[in-house]
Amino acid sequence: MSLRRSMFFHLLKRGLLGRGDRPLIAFIALAVASTMITAMLNLYFGLESKLNRDFRSYGANVTLAASGAQALPEDASPKAQSVLPKDSLVAPFAFAIAHASNGDAVVVAGTDMSQIQRLNAWWGVSRWPGAQGEALVGSKAESHLGASSGAFDLQFAGRTLHLRQIGTLKTGADEENRIYIPLSTFESWTRIKPSLLEISIPGRSRQVSAAIAMLQSVFPGMQVRPVRQLLEAEGAVIGRMRSVMLACTVLIALTAVLCVFSTLTSSVLERRRDFAVMKAIGSSQKTVNILFAAEALSIAILAACTGYLLGSGIAAWISQANFHTTVVPQISVLPLVILASMVLALMAALLPLAQLQRIEPAGILKGE
C-alpha cells in the first residue's frame, strides 16, 4: 500500500514538474483569477463596511415618534438604546414655537447635543454648544432674533429664556430655520417632553429592518419609520457595487477556465502514452482520473494562495487610491478563493477527464 502511495506521489510530482510550461500556464491563469476574486471580495466586504459607516454620518435612518400631540415615555431613549445594536445612536428631540424679542416666531428644538453631533456629522456647524444657556442657531433663523453681541431672548408661554448664540448651522434643509438648545434647558423652560427619537442603526438593510421590528414590539402605538431616502441611496450604491464586482469576477473566471481547459486538454493529448502505460500495468481508470484531478487541484491550491496575497495587496491599493481608506485583508476570504480556484480547475478538467476514459492502451502502445 505504501509502495502504491509512493508511486502515486512520484507520478504526481512528475506530472507537475516534468511537463514543461503547461503546468505553469495553468498556474498563471488560475493565479490571475484568484487574484481578481480576492481583490473583488476584499473590496466588496471592506468597502461595504466603509459605506455603511459613511452613510451613518448622514444622519438618522430610523425615526420613532409619539402619536398625535403626545410625548414619548420618560425612559424612551435608554429603552430604545437597550434593544438596538451596540453602535446605534439615539437622539431625543422636543419642539416648540417660541417668539423672539421682535415678535417673530421661531422653531426651537431641545436635544442631546453630544448625540446629534455624532449623529449628524455632515451638518455645517461653526461651533457646537457645550454649556447651559448656549444655542446653535440655523443660518435662516438668525435674521429673526435681533441678537445683540450673540445674546437674545425667547418667549414661550409667558416664560423668557436668555440664550447666547455659540454657533451657526448650515444644512441646506429645514434645520436652518431652527434653534437648537440642550434638552434639559428646553424642558425646564417649556415643560414639553421629547416627542421624537432620531436613530442611526448600523448594518445592512435586513439588520435595520430587524431593529425596526424590535422597536415596534417594544413601543406599541408609536410610529417607527425608516428614512427611505437614506436607506434606498445606501442600497442602490451597494447594489451597483455588487453587480459590477460580480460581473468582473465572472468574466475573469470564465477566461481562466478556458485557458486552463486548453492547457489540460493539450496535456492529455501529450501524455496519452504515459496514461496508456499506467493502464497496461494494472492501474484502474479511477486511479488515472484521481491522478489527473490531483494535478489540477494542486495547481489550483497553489495558485489560490498566491492570488490571495497578490489580490489583498491590489485591493488595499485600489481602496487607498480611489476611496482614501485601506481595506484590511479578510482572512475569511481565503477559503472562498481556494474553493473557487478548485472549482474552476475541476470545471476545466471535465472534458480532459472524459478524454482519459477513451484511452485504449493496446492501440496507443502499438502507435495507432
The pLDDT score that the predictor gives to residue 56 is 60
Which has the higher per-residue pLDDT, 347 or 271? 347
The pLDDT score that the predictor gives to residue 95 is 94
The kind and range of the H/E element at 283 are: none
Note the pLDDT tens digit of each residue in 59-108: 678 889 988 778 898 889 999 999 998 888 899 999 999 999 888 999 99
Residue with C-alpha cell 414619548?
72
- CA 158, distance to chain mean position in Å, is 52
The average confidence (pLDDT) of the chain is 80
Rounded Cα distance, 24 and 15, in Å: 12
Rounded Cα distance, 351 and 124, in Å: 63
Rounded Cα distance, 354 and 352, in Å: 5
Written as nine digits, the cell of 325 is: 481608506
Q: What are the start-end ranges of the H helices in 160-227?
A: 183-190, 205-218
* pLDDT greater than 70 at residue 153: yes
**In the beta sheet, which residues pair with residue 180?**
109, 136
Note the pLDDT tens digit of each residue in 180-209: 999 999 999 999 999 999 998 877 777 888
Length of the chain counted residue by residue:
368
Give yes or no for a contact between 289 and 8, defined as CB atoms under 8 angstroms apart.
no
Query: Which of the listed ranges 91-105, 283-297, 320-334 does the model predict with the highest average pLDDT?
Result: 91-105
Strand, helix or coil for residue 277:
helix
What does the DSSP assignment read for 91-160? Answer: EEEEEEEEEETTS-EEEEEEE-HHHHHHHTTTSEES----STTEEEEETTTGGGT--BTTEEEEEETTEE
Query: Across residues 293-321, what is the average pLDDT?
Result: 86
- The band of 16, judged by pLDDT with boundaries at 50, 70 and 90, is low
β-strand 178-182 against 105-111: which pairing, if any?
parallel
The pLDDT score that the predictor gives to residue 316 is 83
Query: Could you give the angle at which helices 228-270 and 205-218 cross, rounded to 10 degrees?
Result: 140
What does the DSSP assignment read for 29-63? Answer: HHHHHHHHHHHHHHHHHHHHHHHHHHHHTT--SEE
Alpha-carbon torsion angle 293, 297, 298, 301, nearest 10:
180
- Which of 103, 105, 55, 68 lies closest to 208 in space, CA to CA? 55
Rounded Cα distance, 72 and 181, in Å: 19
